[in-house]
Structure 1
Amino acid sequence: MPDPIRSPLQFGAVTILPTTAVDVRLWLLRLPGDPAATGFGPLGPEERTRATAFRRPDLRARYVAAHTALREILGAETGRAPGDLVMVREPCPGCGELHGRPALEDGPHFSLSHSDDVVLVGVADAPIGVDVEGTATESSIGDVLPRLHPAEQAEIRDAADRSAAFTTVWVRKEAWLKGIGIGLARSLAEDHIGHRGQPPGWSVADVPAIPGYAAAVAVRGALGRLEVADRV
């Protein structure tokens, strides 16, 4: 299991929604410095297919390590062996085909994100999305900024630290897009999330990561307790 990154939590503005509060459990992990994947471990058929698609061994190893950690966490949450968990795809909200958000055949909702060697896993009893990213470079900001919602563009342009502001806005938006099951197939300009936005029916919160990274979680409903677990 990768090492947990222990960090106090701070929250962005959270709108109290007219639903039962949803508790969220998060694991912020760091993969080994040189993850050496000699096999696929407990991964299922779809995960193995995706792993073999990586041409670079280091990227393949990180994918395997991140998804192994996810299965270990879900196994601990459900009381099942990691290799016995059956992963499925929910219907896509856009077209109805079975290529939407990954899900357990019978278990809690979850979301996984990894950037370099940093992994974030979220588990809840409602649809959830998480995202962690390294601080954006100026070149990536220039490529993506014009595609964001105009209000988000203004927030970032007016910020003292554009890189940090952009990365925070990005992880908040991507966490929500993952939560609703559409991901980046939805236009980035369609919705205003920004630094404090709360989409109707959803709660979005910042999750402090380690220096050089930003992270966020989105959950459908009112956000209840947000807990970072030290270990599986």
Structure 2
Amino acid sequence: MRPPPCDVWWARTDWLRPEHLTVLGAAESERLRRYRYPADRDRSALGAVLLRAVAARALGSAPGAVAVDRSCPSCPGSHGRPVLPGTGLYVSTSHSGAFVVVAATRAGPVGVDVEEEPSRLGTDLRVGALGPREAAGTTDAAGFVRCWARKEALLKAVGMGITVPLAEVDLGPPGEPPRLRRFPGARPDQVYVTDLPAAEGYAGAVCVLAPGPVPVRHHDAGPLLHSGLFGEPSVTGGPVLSGGRVR
């Protein structure tokens, strides 16, 4: 029997509207007030809003009624990975540059990551993040961010974040389909990783801890974000998917 699908929802940061913020909880709103730069605040806000919208759609509830637990396992803060207690729905969110992405599935713990290509790629960063096989097959920034996104997605799914040396996580060179070759925190036969159809200048990946392959379905989040879930929409966002790829 095939695992349940993983739904990946894409949005652009300029789709954020004032009415979206009304569904956030007190802890989420307080966290947003601590951001120094508006662009960072808006990305985080839209990620929290989209996660609630996706969960509400799957659970048949209102976005503001979704209980999101972001407890950190290492401190009393509310900045851990999002958990929806008692729902059986696993979620993950990521944002970079102009894009926000949320993944949701019932197949197992999930991690998603999207990364914008850096304008410069230092040698130290490449050496510290890539294993020997990955480094040998990585010749440019596009390949590097693809490797990085794969690793981030896996670590999010496992619930570790970047708490282990990235060079110890081997998912293969960027020119090959991702496959777990080395990582002490997960069994290769219980890890499904796939690259996402990111826009030019970006790379993305999603990881589900389940015997794969897990069907991955991509969605434009515009209609969801500008639906009746948030009251009367102030503007309609345009499609972010075109020909099977993000644009």
The match for 1:62 is: 43
Q: Which runs of 5+ in 1 are unaligned?
A: 1-18
In 2, Cα distance between equivalents of 1:57 and 1:137 = 21
In 2, Cα distance between equivalents of 1:79 and 1:109 = 15
Match of 1:173 among 148, 151, 171: 151
Structure 2 residue 42 is matched with structure 1 residue 29: no
Please give the per-residue CA displacement for 1:102-128, whole angstroms capped at 9, x wherever unaligned. Answer: 211232000000112201110011100
The match for 1:145 is: 126
**Conserved 8 A contact 2:192-2:214:** no
Match of 1:105 among 85, 100, 105: 85
Task: Describe the SS at the equivalent of 1:29.
Answer: strand
Structure with greater strand share of residues? 1
Please give the per-residue CA displacement for 1:140-190, whole angstroms capped at 9, x wherever unaligned. Answer: x4342111222222221xx3xx11110111111111111110111121122
In 2, Cα distance between equivalents of 1:168 and 1:144 = 14
Structure 2 residue 218 is matched with structure 1 residue 228: yes
Would the alpha carbon gap of residues 96 and 181 (structure 1) be closer, same or farther in structure 2, given more than 3 Å must change?
Answer: farther
Q: Which structure's relative contact order is higher, taking Cα pairs within 8 Å and 6+ residues apart?
A: 1
Q: 1:26: how far off?
A: 0.7
Structure 2 residue 204 is matched with structure 1 residue 215: yes
Structure 2 residue 43 is matched with structure 1 residue 43: no
Q: 1:21: how far off?
A: 2.5
**Conserved 8 A contact 1:88-1:104:** yes
Please give the per-residue CA displacement for 1:3-36, whole angstroms capped at 9, x wherever unaligned. Answer: xxxxxxxxxxxxxxxx853411111211217x56
Please give the per-residue CA displacement for 1:56-104, whole angstroms capped at 9, x wherever unaligned. Answer: 2332233222211221111111111111111114774xx7999753211
Structure 2 residue 167 is matched with structure 1 residue 186: no
Q: Which runs of 5+ in 2 are unaligned?
A: 182-187, 225-247
In 2, Cα distance between equivalents of 1:88 and 1:138 = 36
TM-score relative to the length of structure 1: 0.79
**Conserved 8 A contact 1:37-1:64:** no
TM-score relative to the length of structure 2: 0.74
What RMSD, in angstroms, separates the aligned Cα atoms of the two structures? 2.6
In 2, Cα distance between equivalents of 1:70 and 1:52 = 19
**Conserved 8 A contact 1:22-1:223:** no
**Conserved 8 A contact 2:20-2:49:** no
The match for 1:133 is: 115
> What number of residue pairs does the alignment pair up?
206
**Percent identical:** 32
